[in-house]
Amino acid sequence: MLADKLVLTVDDSRTVRRFLRTLLTTHGCKVEEAASGQEAVRMSTEKMYDLILLDLLLPDLDGIEVLRRIRQKDQTAAIVVLTGMGGIKSATTAVREGADGYITKQDLSVGGEAQEFFYALEQAMEHRAGLVAQKQLQELRADFYSMITHDLRNPTSSILLTLQLLLEESIDPLTENQRELLMIAQNAAEKLRRLVDEFLDFAKIDAGYLRLNPDMADLRTVVEESVRLAELQAQARRQTLTLKLPSEPVTGWVDAERMKRVVENLVSNAVKYTPEGGQITVELNATDGIAELRVSDTGIGIPPEQLPALFQKYYRVSAAGTKGIRGTGLGLLIVKEIVEAHGGTVRAESEGSGKGSTFIVRIPLRTPE
């Protein structure tokens, strides 16, 4: 791993520098030297080193300060600090400031274990390579999110808005045929936006930063609006979609957009996994400060042994009934993450294949803290 690496050694002692040069060149490294902190900072801005060995006791600048200045400009070089006896405290400070490892000078002294020295250097280089790769991945992810948001979500929203304007006949009256075609387009664009939102949520969940935007909302409205979206889908499959809402408001501190996604995912699964002519029931109730949503269908059901795995990433039931039904296996994972972020639970019940399924979401009805 060290062969051909460009190494900068920083130490005011010529003897130490010479010793390090001998040791490192025998392992195929190219070595350059700095005798002071200032020189080290200057050299590291002029060239990209793979590894910097930095003594913390320098005549001109504090070693930690040198480390800080190097790190400001260079995130990719592995830095290993050299400490004296009892230098553990400064070594830990150095690691906090961006060093990738430390070596005590005694380990370097004649008779010290060269093997351990090289092992420590390799460890430090691996540590840095890991951080660099992680950062690149994060940047790639950030680019990907913004690509999805700008290049897919925004145009989809403007398509939806345009279609809505046409359908409202605020521009020109429509013939029945035109209206029907525009509604098909609207339905498809809505599906696309849902898919994009699902991927965005999944990406956030995967990166570990799904944050809710809660507000006081009546869950009856949330459920009603989401079910309305699925009505067309259900009609197309000649299914009966029944909505049962309580007469009193079910008000809680929730992220209404995210909760809509929960309901939409569950209802669109019910539509998808229920054959033509089946029945789907969506019911909302509230008791003792807990809202309970039940989405049940008379569809293909779920084998009991597969129930616990449903909410895992990419999980899709393997059974004859699911063949030919398209999906990503992400919808239920997103449901679970959103529900849990609200302090709630979700579970599935089914008597088995062909016997329908029920998904039950329970959420505490909180008020803002």
Question: Does position 322 bind ligand ADP by CB under 6 A?
Answer: yes
CB of 201 to ligand ADP, least distance (A): 12
Q: How far is the CB of 308 from ligand ADP (least distance, A)?
A: 12
317 binds ligand ADP (CB under 6 A): yes
| DSSP letter (8 states) at residue 27 | T
187-195 contacts at long range (C-beta below 8 A, 24 or more positions apart): 187/232, 187/233, 189/156, 189/159, 189/160, 189/163, 190/160, 190/229, 192/152, 192/156, 193/153, 193/156, 193/157, 193/160, 194/261, 194/264, 194/268
CB 281 within 8 A of CB 357: no
* Buried b / exposed e along 58-70 (16+ C-beta atoms within 10 A): beebebbebbebb
Member of 40, 163, 222, 302 binding ligand ADP (CB under 6 A): 302
Shortest distance in whole angstroms from residue 278 CB to ligand ADP = 10
Q: How far is CA 170 from CA 163, 174, 181, in A?
A: 11, 10, 17
What is the nearest approach in angstroms of ligand ADP to the Cβ of residue 242? 15
Tokens matching residue 36: 């002071």
> Minimum distance between the CB of residue 304 and ligand ADP, rounded to whole angstroms?
12
User: What is d(CA 221, CA 215) in angstroms, rounded to the nearest whole number?
Assistant: 13
Q: Is 233 in the site for ligand ADP (CB under 6 A)?
A: no
Of residues 49 and 273, the one with the C-beta less far from ligand ADP = 273
| Minimum CB–partner distance for residue 312 and ligand ADP (Å) | 9
175: left (phi over 0), alpha (psi -120 to 50) or beta: beta
Quickly list DSSP for 139-153. HHHHHHHHHIIIIII
Residue type, 255: D
Stretch that binds ligand ADP, among 60-68, 170-178, 184-192, 324-332 (CB under 6 A): 324-332
| Interface with ligand ADP, residue 297, by CB under 6 A | yes
Q: Which long-range contacts (CB under 8 A, 24 or more apart) does 229-236 make?
A: 229/190, 229/264, 230/264, 230/267, 230/268, 230/271, 232/183, 232/187, 233/187, 233/268, 233/271, 234/271, 234/280
Nearer to ligand ADP, 128 or 194 (CB): 194
CB-closest chain residue to ligand ADP = 327
Show the site string, 330-359: x = touches ligand ADP by CB under 6 A, - = not: xxxx-----------------------x--
Interface with ligand ADP, residue 329, by CB under 6 A:
yes
Question: Residue 361 interacts with ligand ADP (CB under 6 A)?
Answer: no
Query: CB-wise, 214 or 352, nearer to ligand ADP?
Result: 352
Does residue number 316 form part of the binding site for ligand ADP (CB under 6 A)? Answer: yes
By CB under 6 A, which span of 92-100, 238-246, 283-291, 312-320 interacts with ligand ADP?
A: 312-320
Q: Are 106 and 132 in contact (CB under 8 A)?
A: no
CB of residue 349 to ligand ADP, shortest distance in Å? 11
Instruction: Enumerate residues 256-295 that contact ligand ADP by CB under 6 A.
Output: 265, 269-270, 273
User: Could you tell me if 369 and 362 are in contact, meaning their C-beta atoms sit under 8 angstroms apart?
Assistant: no
Closest contact distance (angstroms) between CB of 21 and ligand ADP is 59
Q: How far is the CB of 231 from ligand ADP (least distance, A)?
A: 17
Could you list the residues that contact ligand ADP (CB under 6 A)?
265, 269-270, 273, 297, 299-300, 302, 310, 315-317, 322, 327-333, 357
